[in-house]
Structure 1
Amino acid sequence: MTFKSELDEISRYRNAYVLALSVALGSLFYGYDIGLIGGILSLGSFQNYFGLDKMNPREKAWLNGNIVAILQLGCLFGALGVGSFSSRYGRKPCLLASGGIYIIGSALQVIVGLGGTREYALSLLYTGRFLGGIGVGMVTALVPSYVSECTPQAIRGRCTGLIQLAINVGIMLSFWVNYFASKNMPSSESQWRVPFAIQIVPGVLFLLAMPFQPESPRYMVEKEEYDRAAQTLAFFVSPMIFGSLGIDGTTAELFATGVYGGVKVVSVALTLAMAVEGIGRKKCLIVGGLGQSAMMLWIGGYSALHPAPTAATPSSYISIVAVYLYAAFFSFGWGPIPWVVAAEVAPNHLRTVVISTATGVNWLFSLTISKLTPIMLNELGYGTFLLFGFCCLIMAFWAWLCLPETAGFGLEEIGLLFETDVILRALQDAPGGRIFIGDRRATPVARELRLPIAGDEDSEAVALLGPDSDSG
């Protein structure tokens, strides 16, 4: 695809892209929030204020784990709880509510300890991070389904993948804000309060952008509001709306993480532009998982052989490169692609509930890892990286064995991929998979959902929106 054709496509689907970018602001504050706390925890001013500098390593690891994990706990509750509300009241009102809850939680984190004693500051910090987490969890459960339901099949993967791009942009911004605060601000309360305050900005931008976006057309169909659904669809998929409804210190460390965040942003952007629709979801997950595994195993092996390096060596430089390559592989596969797949595989009437459950499970494991990682690094050292490396290997094998390719199918067709012969279909789509299945092939998906309507012989609109009552 040429540069001119890319520009033509962006112009053709401009309304869909604007919606995706508007909703991605929610993922931006998600990324900023989860990336922010690591840098703040490393600031001497924060450690002094909350007494972390007076704790032994074990106590410090536990408290750090609690401060990080309380956000994930809120995310878990937010993700699991929003599904039924979005099915009853709609995606858009719940998205607006998530932004409001996030802003309240963020504001509480800014005012921690102001006008009171420091003994209660930690409790208020926990409360603010928990509320912020609820808002973030709601966003992570709602945004994939909302974007996938509103965008055309041709760019659905790219638009849904913008979620991960926005997350990485948020993480990158948080890294650079922490770096700026560490390098240019005096070691005082303001040094850690300012980064907390800045996290309110993407939440406000999200609340300003969302009112101009419509409700999900598929939610309208569930409520039998066919005219409104048709108008919304026409607003987004204009060129093909009735053709498809696929409708060494702290400062140095923070500088390194800022570069790390930049690598992830660039990698996700390239993946969305060239790989998610061209290469497909399945291969991206396989390559990403194998790459992540190799990088983790290298870092684990290096850490085992050099437990306390005092000077840079060629292998240490390779390990630094491995960290950045890990970010690139993650951004190629298991960063953006799970959001795409999760938003595609569920049927319309269960999509929000399924994504809510899937996102909740994601936050459950995120909570567990966030809590245990500081402790594991303190107790296991290099074994932590080896464990994560083997987990990434298992992820790649699962994608190879169990996941059929979903690219190129409409939302109403994808469910048929999982009705029969799932493993056979997955191996049929997998690199080298046909070696194990011989001449066997899964039953082709019959595209029975495409029904003709006026002026278009290849459309899913009638199946989704219902026939015109005046057509006889």
Structure 2
Amino acid sequence: MGRLYTISLAVFAATGSFLFGYDSGVMTDVIESKNFLSFFNTTQTSAIVGAINSTFSGGAAIGSLQGGLTMDRFGRKFTIQLGALICLIGAILQASAMNLAMILIGRILAGWAVGLMSMSVPVYQAECAHPSSRGLIIGLAQQMNGVGFIVSTWVGYGSLHAPDTSQFQWRFPLAFQAFPAIMLLVGMLFLPESPRYLIEKERHDTAMKVLKRLHFDGTNGEWIKTEYNEIKSTIEAENVVAAPSWISMFRVPQWRTRLLHGVAVQVFTQMTGVNVIAYYQTILYNALGITGNRNTLVAGIYNCIGPLTNLIFIVFLLDKVGRRKPMMFGAVAISITLICEAALNSVNPEGKRAGYSIAGVFFIFCITIIFSLSFGPCSWVYMAEVMPMQIRGKGNAFATGIGNWAVGTLWSQVSPIALGSIRWKFYLVFIIWNMCVSLPVIYFLFKETTQKSLEEIDLLFGGPALGILPNGIREIQPNLEQEKGKDSEIVVENVENTGQKLTAAWSI
């Protein structure tokens, strides 16, 4: 079936990312509902609204970490389906909420579900993708994330046209997320498991069938055999001596380095400030003097621009320009844009100068465009690529849970308060971080992974690390100077009895 089937599989699996975007964006319009604010006796800039969003992010952090266990034990497909089921339960609770506790529990469950799917969907896509199009395939997760934001905005915009006395204004947008959750839960039954996971579980015949189904175009039979043998050899050699665990991710130097790369890219993405803008943009527009239906209309247009830009980038550029350069561009360009936004807000505090307000909206729009050309797709692609097979589940879980969702929880809680009190000065936090931390770290430490197989990326970080062995055995790195395709000897020695050695064949 080849490329078309792989893209179709990636798009459908990214329904999980659609739910990520929808659940993240739906509260933007819900908190604009006068009926919602009255029903729960709150305001847009209250700690209650911050709690509603932070519980979602906190649940996502827990879900991401739990996904590391689920993926390794039950597979990529099961983890995505579990996320869809939990999301369905959360949607029912939110839509039927009669008190704040029901909303908060529903948001925690929705966050838990999104945490599971936000870390498992990119891994599933990466392990099913061809190296030449992996950026496009994983980039579809960010694309569907953006589509989720679009749908949430326009569903919310339409619902807000209901009378202020009607609970339809906010119950329907919260209920709508149940439909894609059901579709994903059922539809994943008909998609294959990741071939790398199947090989790890010694289901070799099924894995070969899946590889052919994913990549065979009638002429590349030898490439598929080579890819299969490379994956199988890598996993078998690692399984000879490796004992991967949560602790070993930090104890093995190479794994620790790669884990930190994954965490860092997620932290840097949150520190662009783009999610603060996405969650609370209606507050920003109110500060610029754009209120009422115009406010949610502008938010709807904002949410359309990012996904359109992202689509152009992942289809035409991402697999050509790489990962590092777009992220360095993003760190600089977003900082400059935030400086301009802060300057405009400082001289237009009441939003009464129409020209300045229009310029303020323009720069907010510029941020989503720049983000979609840089960190938006690149962060998920890079994180999924740098994790080695042995810790791919746990590593992506930790990077997503801590780097993305734990940091996101902080900003979800404090942002409405900060925007209400210090206003434009809040942007300075993100400007300083991007220029003083994100940019230099990406430039000096990040590695380019474009067009390389997941197994070849091992060599960028010094070759396969075999981890911590039982009974005090540790690995000695293989000879990485061997030519690809030739056998290299891995020698491991027992720390407690240095006279005993174990030799395993490794094909690089």
Contact kept? 1:222, 1:349, Cα under 8 Å: no
**Structure 1 residue runs of 4+, over 4 Å off?**
243-247, 444-447
Instruction: Provide the C-alpha distance between the structure 1 equivalents of 2:441 and 2:158, rounded to a whole number of angstroms.
Output: 41
Measured against aligned partners, the alpha-carbon deviations of 1:289-334 in whole angstroms (never above 9, x if no partner) come to: 2221111111111112222231302x43332211111100111111
Kept in 2, the 8 Å contact 1:275–1:284? The answer is no
Task: Point out where structure 2 has 5 or more consecutive residues left out of the alignment.
Answer: 232-289, 464-479, 488-504
Structure 1 vs Structure 2 CA RMSD: 2.3
Structure 2: which amino acid aligns with 1:213?
A: L
1:359 to 400, 403, 421: 400
State the distance in 1 between where 2:128 and 2:115 align.
Answer: 21
In 2, distance between residues paired with 1:359 and 1:146? 15
The partner residue of 1:62 within 32, 36, 47 is: 47
Residue matched to 1:329:
370
* SS in structure 2 of the partner of residue 159 of structure 1: helix
Q: Aligned runs of 1:229-268 on 2, under 5 Å?
A: 229-239=207-217, 240=220, 241-242=224-225, 244=227, 248-268=290-310
> Aligned pair in 2 of structure 1 residues 150, 450: CA closer, same or farther (>3 Å)?
farther
Matched, 1:372 2:414: yes
Tell me how far 1:128 sits from its aligned partner: 0.7
Whether 2:113 is the aligned partner of 1:123: answer no
Q: 3-state SS of the aligned residue for 1:382? A: helix
Q: How many residues align?
A: 409
Matching of residue 397 in structure 1 with residue 433 in structure 2 = no
Q: Secondary structure at the match of 2:31?
A: helix
**C-alpha displacement of 1:39:** 1.2
Q: Which residue of 2 aligns with 1:303?
A: 345
1:446 and 1:297 mapped to 2: Cα distance? 50
Q: Give the deviation of 1:285 after TM superposition.
A: 0.8
Q: Retained in 2: the 8 A contact 1:152–1:244?
A: no
CA distance in 2, matches of 1:37, 1:73: 15
Q: Name the counterpart of 2:60.
A: 75
| Partner deviation per Cα, 1:83-123 (whole Å, 9 max, x = no partner) | 1121011111121111001100111101111xxxxxxx100
Measured after TM superposition, the shift of residue 396 of structure 1 is 2.9
* C-alpha distance in structure 2 between counterparts of 1:411 and 1:86, whole Å: 18
**Deviation of residue 402 (structure 1)?**
1.4
TM-score, normalising length: structure 1: 0.82
Identify the residue that residue 237 of structure 2 maps to in structure 1.
none
Which shifted more, 142-151 or 183-192?
183-192
Letter in 1 for 2:373: F
From 20, 25, 31, give the equivalent of 1:30: 20
8 Å CA contact 2:35–2:165 kept in 1: the answer is: yes
- Counterpart contact for 2:132–2:452, Cα < 8 Å: no
Q: How much identity, in percent, do the aligned residues show?
A: 28
Asked if 1:312 corresponds to 2:354, the answer is yes
Partner deviation per Cα, 1:215-266 (whole Å, 9 max, x = no partner) = 1111111111111111111110113434546984232111111111110011
State yes or no: 1:272 paired with 2:262: no
CA distance in 1 between counterparts of 2:97 and 2:73 reads: 36
Q: Retained in 1: the 8 A contact 2:93–2:105?
A: yes
Deviates more, 1:70-79 or 1:250-259: 250-259
Question: Paired residue for 2:202?
Answer: 224
Question: 2:394 matched to 1:409?
Answer: no
Whether contact under 8 Å (1:45, 1:191) holds in the other structure is yes
Contact kept, 8 Å, 2:21 with 2:149, in 1: the verdict is yes
- Cα distance in 2 for partners of 1:236, 1:218 equals 12
Give the Å deviation of 1:449: 5.4
Question: Is 1:347 the counterpart of 2:332 in the alignment?
Answer: no
Q: In structure 2, what residue type is equivalent to 1:69?
A: S
CA change 1:69–1:447 in 2 (3 A) is farther
Alignment of 1:423-442 (within 5 A): none
The correspondence for 1:52, drawn from 34, 42, 45, is 42
User: Deviation of residue 446 (structure 1)?
Assistant: 6.9
CA separation in 2, counterparts of 1:446 and 1:390? 44
Structure 1 gaps of 5+ residues are 1-10, 114-120, 421-443, 452-462, 467-472
Query: Is the 2:128–2:214 Cα contact (8 Å) retained in structure 1?
Result: yes
